[in-house]
Amino acid sequence: MLMRKRTNASVSAHEDEVSNLKSLQQDSKQRASQFPSSTKIFIICLIFRMTNSLFVQTYFNPDEHWQALEVAHRITFGYGHLTWEWTKGIRSYLHPMLFAVLYKVLSVLHLDTPLFMIKAPRLLQSVLSAFGDLYMFKLSHVLYGGHVAMWALFAQLTNWFMFYCITRTLSNSLETVLTVLSLYYWPCLRVNSSNSPEASRTWALVTAAIACAIRPTSAIIWIYVGLMELIVSRDRLKFIFLQVLPIGSIVLGLTFLLDRLMYGSWVFVPLNFLKFNFLSSGGDYYGTHPWHWYFTQGFIVMIFTFLPFMAVGVVQSKQWKLSGLILWVIGLYSILGHKEFRFVLPVLPIALSFSGYSLAMLSRQYSSNKKNKYTRTRTKSSWKIQAAVIFLVVTNLPMALYMSMVHQRGTEDVMNYLAKEAHQGNVKSVLFLTPCHATPYYSTLHQNLPMRFLDCSPSEVKGNLDESDRFMTDPIGFTSEFAKNWSQPSHIVLFNNEEKHLKDFLSSHSYEETKRFFHAHFKVDRDLQASVVVYALK
């Protein structure tokens, strides 16, 4: 009798377990069906990034204008300044050509007005950035599941530096999009590539090659990923000789031909880039940082309050390949003397996906089971996940808005103002008495008027000061000497720091202040550039 009761109890327990397992499976399927499709995710990301691009109204890095839009403007409209990098042949025309096509469309439609010339490039970049967000979501979905992917997307969209930088027309922004897209297709990153039909080495290599063509330093990422693929691949000879070499040769060959067409002579950009930035340390001319800067300041500032969540996510996910990629990239860039935040932007989405993993784990409750390692149970969000979300939003949102809309906005505002004035015929020529490349240029003004800025091209003679440095050292002496041979401009643009030294000079040459724009609350580079001032001939 006792045995029969035990047997019945055992059967009942087994039936309950089977029933629970089925309900959990049904719950899992129901959860999976609740996740938005890729199309819906892309639309959400597109609306967010386009709005994001409209919020970005500040100046971050000269390359956003001078190495992309300025070059594109010259290609399309026949005028625009080419910096010394283009005379040395260390830049490819591939990236500027993207915006040259946009400018051509605006020109044909007669929409090349000051408003469209200012907003359209970043709106185009916002479309590309939305693809980056989508593929970060898809990569996280493949690696960790849909629930983690949603939290990874949350991290991507709320991180302040992504908001601040990804819709800018920097080559690093496009490199970041291509990096995420390529990582999604690499089979070596999948746990089981046979169950992931979308894994494709061909697409992975094509996007990686384009990233390298746009920024040769992107090869740092693909050396690491390529070696991983080579180690796990069963068809290594096919991988090298039938995929890597043909695809790389085609993409880089087409880029080589484009540069031949645009430069007018044969120029091998990757080699020139390598010589200047790595073999001769040419980048050090623009400043150096200690080796640990990315670890102690640079990348820490970029990931900001997501840092502890990233660290926990790395440990929890045990996705050592991707965490190793982050360390590899930051480690190699740390060897170079010249360092910038944007250089390591391509690995920021990976770090944020780890933050998404830890947030997803925090939002779930797992209980151990003898037959199943982990059993998912439906629970309401605990106070911990609510506190985490509030903490991340409260810390990142003000930073994103302040940096995108307040800090260093004066140099953008002054060119927007001059563009409207020039469009109305009120500007004849402009002189910029500022550190070089401190403002946008013809790509914003969009009028073929004489303009002059202080040159800062690297000198062949070590220790020789450029125009920009000589002006900053002695504003009065430099400007007085400069004025002896100038064709007097109708407008002069300068920061308030130099204005206080040059007020008498400006007054004696019949200039008066016409407009003043707020620029920054704290130091930029060397000094506090509180405002940008426009002086015009009386």
Is residue 377 one of the residues assigned to a domain? no
Number of other residues whose CB lies within 10 A of the CB of residue 59: 25
Domains identified in the chain, total number: 2
Confidence of residue 192 (pLDDT cuts 50, 70, 90): low
Are 326 and 281 spatial neighbours (Cβ–Cβ below 8 Å)?
A: no
Same domain, 427 and 389: no
Same domain, 349 and 451: no
454 contact partners, CB below 8 Å, separation of at least 6: 432, 433, 434, 435, 436, 466, 467, 468, 471
Same domain, 390 and 424: no
Same domain, 244 and 349: yes
Is residue 42 one of the residues assigned to a domain? yes
Element (H, E) at 367: strand 365-367
Is residue 11 one of the residues assigned to a domain? no
Same domain, 426 and 386: no
Sign, CA torsion 443/444/449/453:
negative
* Cα 291 to Cα 68: distance, rounded to the nearest angstrom: 29
Are 493 and 432 spatial neighbours (Cβ–Cβ below 8 Å)?
A: yes
Same domain, 165 and 311: yes
Within 13 Å and on the Cβ side, how many CA atoms surround 137?
24
Confidence of residue 320 (pLDDT cuts 50, 70, 90): very high
Q: Which of 230, 218, 156 is nearest to 187 (CA)?
A: 230
Is residue 142 one of the residues assigned to a domain? yes
Number of residues assigned to the chain: 538
Same domain, 452 and 514: yes
Q: Which two tokens stand for residue 110?
A: 């007669």
pLDDT for 526 equals 72
Q: Which of these three, 327, 360, 395, is where a domain ends?
A: 395
Are 65 and 82 spatial neighbours (Cβ–Cβ below 8 Å)?
A: no
Confidence of residue 195 (pLDDT cuts 50, 70, 90): very low
Range of the domain at 256: 37-370+382-395
Is residue 29 one of the residues assigned to a domain? no
The span from the first CA to the last CA of the chain, in angstroms, equals 112
Q: Which residues pair with 375 in a beta bridge?
A: 367
Is residue 443 one of the residues assigned to a domain? yes
428 contact partners, CB below 8 Å, separation of at least 6: 449, 450, 489, 490, 491
- At position 441, the amino acid (one-letter code) is Y
Are 381 and 409 spatial neighbours (Cβ–Cβ below 8 Å)?
A: no
Is residue 31 one of the residues assigned to a domain? no
| 252-288 burial: b if 16+ Cβ within 10 Å, else e | beebbebbeebbeeebebbebbbebbeeeebbebeee
Same domain, 390 and 445: no
Same domain, 170 and 227: yes
Q: Which tens digits make up the pLDDT trace of 445-463?
A: 999 999 999 999 887 777 7
Q: Which tens digits make up the pLDDT trace of 205-238?
A: 999 999 999 999 999 999 999 999 999 999 999 9
pLDDT for 34 equals 59
Same domain, 362 and 426: no
Is residue 171 one of the residues assigned to a domain? yes
Are 138 and 353 spatial neighbours (Cβ–Cβ below 8 Å)?
A: no
Least confident range from 380-384, 432-436, 490-494: namely 380-384
Same domain, 460 and 512: yes
Same domain, 320 and 420: no
Q: Which tens digits make up the pLDDT trace of 69-107?
A: 999 999 999 999 999 999 999 999 999 999 999 999 999
Strand blocks (E) in 403-530:
430-433, 451-453, 491-495, 511-518
pLDDT at 401 over 50: yes
pLDDT for 4 equals 44
pLDDT for 527 equals 81
Q: List C-alpha distances in Å: 286 to 73, 283, 337, 457.
A: 25, 6, 10, 10
The average pLDDT across 519-528 equals 86
